[in-house]
Amino acid sequence: MAVGVRGGERPRGPRPAGKPYTNERKPSEYCKTNLLVDGMGFSALAFRAAVEMCGVDRVVFGTDYGAVPYGIKEHVQVVEDVLPDQADRDLVLWKTSNRIFRTGR
């Protein structure tokens, strides 16, 4: 699984001498607001962990098709095995990507 960082809440500008930055929230809470996870993977367990940690609306479908000897059907099957709800599958398979990339659909 690939993880990308989207935005941050760190104050801008120079840090005052002797005063380290501190998180306003627990680090785990940023997973549900600041990360998108590429769900490319061969493991239903890893895919389920990503959904549980970041939320189904923060995981996008990925295949690395061509670079790995694993077909698209197998990748889709992992999503279907982990997410029984069609609305959740739609978020992972296309709706979140459309929202992030603003395709207007």
Residue 96 has pLDDT above 80, yes or no: yes
Boundaries of every domain in the chain: 29-101
Residue 27's pLDDT band (cuts 50, 70, 90): confident
Residue 4 has pLDDT above 70, yes or no: no
SS3 per-residue string spanning the chain: CEEEECCCCCCCCCCCCCCCCCCCCCHHHHCCCCEEEECCCCCHHHHHHHHHHHCHHHEECCCCECCECCCHHHHHHHHHHHCCCHHHHHHHHHHHHHHHHCCCC
Res 34: pLDDT: 85
Res 3: pLDDT: 47
Query: Each residue of 32-76: pLDDT tens digit?
Result: 888 888 887 778 999 999 999 999 999 999 866 666 677 788 888
Task: Choose between 2 and 96: higher pLDDT.
Answer: 96
Q: Indicate the pTM of the whole model.
A: 0.72
Residue 76 sits at φ, ψ, to 5 deg, of -65, -40
